Amino acid sequence: MTYISGKALPRRTFLQGMGATVALPFLDAMFPAGKPTWRITSQQAPRMVAIEMVHGAAGCNELGASLNYWAPAATGRAYDLSPSALSPLEPFRDYLTIISNTDCREAEPNAPKEIGGDHFRSSAVFLTQSHPKQTEGSDIHVGESIDQIYARKFGQTTPIPSMQLCIENVDQAGGCAYGYACVYTDSISWASPTEPLPVIRDPRVAFEKLFGVGGSTEERFARRQSRRSILDWVAGEMVSLKGSLGADDRTRLDRYLEDIREVERRIQAIETRNMSGEQRDMPEAPAGVPDSFSEHVAVMFDIQALAFASDITRVFSFKMGRDGSARTYPESGTDKPFHPASHHGGNKKGVSDFQMINKYHVAQLPYFLNKLKAIQENDGNLLDKTMIIYGSPMADSNLHSHRRCPLIVVGKADGRMGGNVHIKAPDGTPMANAMLSMMHTLGVNDMKTLGDSTGTLNLSSHA
């Protein structure tokens, strides 16, 4: 444990033991004596989460748009979310920025041979806003994604510059369809135009990366067999640290450690259930992956909240779907598989069913938002200090259209986003303009262009 008695506790303080490493949340003991708190907070870059949901939205269809199934009718602040798939976010209205009417034209075909391949190149476009080279070989090329641009500038002082998570199975080997490498379908984070970053689907793998559990395969196996918590391995240092903390810090630390233990329990319960021999809905999935979509998303959100609380990383990308997925979501109110439901034919029943799935997906976000809002850090909560981007590079998937795509931002980004506003961009505005403005908001002010951007978009407009 790195701690010097009588001085401020270093922000990079870790409890270590038997291959486990537990970083600490922000504590009052980390304030330098006699220095105002703003000097601490001003050094912290906002957290960033980029979430992609494939297949667009029912509200991007002509009928769905007329019914306000995604974007509300009114712009500015006096908008009604009730008809929209965004209605689960009503309690977080003050944190919500809706950006409608932007296009992902780089996901469109550039040549006749690319026609039909929208599902197999779109995900690579979402955060790069660049057109993927059509290839099934190793000569892939698209662009650098905004999460990696941000991580390169502001993620180098954290133990992990960024993490990439997903829900659906991915297969980055070889070609998928229409002449596109599968890596374009599976990756939204690109460290360079030719370097896609691998994604983690198994919560166990993500958790152990976060806390450095086990320096070797043997250590990890021994810990799992013992069924002991990682907190047991650092118990001695924990007792010593608590003795030097004030009452508020002890309470904050206890809450954080209990959150770690609760995530451990959930992962262990999932693995036990999936290895019991009972029939699984997804027999091909690793034992740590829940069959339930909502359970899987929730535990991945728990992991992200823990990472932000301990400042292990400030950047996540989270791919919540995979193009062409036939997954069903019984809790949504329809049993139609995802991809077939997205090809709704433009009829009222089909569009309504797809709307149910869109709303169900958005309804997963409040769990994460509540987690972040409950975590206090100095002068605010983590939702105040985070920018969460949620959207799709496709609009009306029934037509494979990339015009007027769904896009929202949630969170205050350390006071840099106002929230409670619907901004409708002028017709023909690239989504890249909105994302370029997000990067400027986050402090990447030297970034002049992104993909097919033609300028910036005012993200605080009340018009």
- Chunked mean pLDDT (size 10), the chain, 463 residues: 52 68 82 53 78 97 96 96 98 98 98 96 98 96 98 93 94 79 95 96 93 62 63 74 83 88 94 93 91 98 96 96 95 97 96 98 98 91 97 97 98 96 97 98 97 95 52
For the structural domain made of 44-201+303-441, what CATH number should be given?
3.40.720
- pLDDT attached to residue 456: 97
- pLDDT attached to residue 263: 94
Beta-carbon contacts of residue 439 (< 8 Å; ≥ 6 apart): 146, 149, 150, 447, 450
With H, G, I as helix, E, B as strand and everything else as coil, classify residue 81.
coil
Q: What is the CA radius of gyration of the chain?
A: 22
- pLDDT attached to residue 247: 86
Q: Do residues 208 and 214 lie in contact, with contact meaning Cβ atoms separated by under 8 Å?
A: yes
Find the helix or strand (DSSP H, E) in which 299 lies: helix 293-310
- pLDDT attached to residue 136: 93
Structure-token pair, residue 282:
């997804």
Sketch the domain layout of the chain as residue ranges. 44-201+303-441
- pLDDT attached to residue 39: 43
CA distance 57 to 121: 18
Residue 99's φ and ψ, nearest 5 degrees, are -120, 105
Sign of the Cα torsion 118, 98, 166, 130 reads positive
CA distance 58 to 50: 21
- pLDDT attached to residue 322: 94
CA 171 vs CA 94, 166, 175, 321, 336: distances in Å: 39, 12, 9, 13, 24
CA dihedral 314, 308, 423, 349 (to 10 degrees): 110
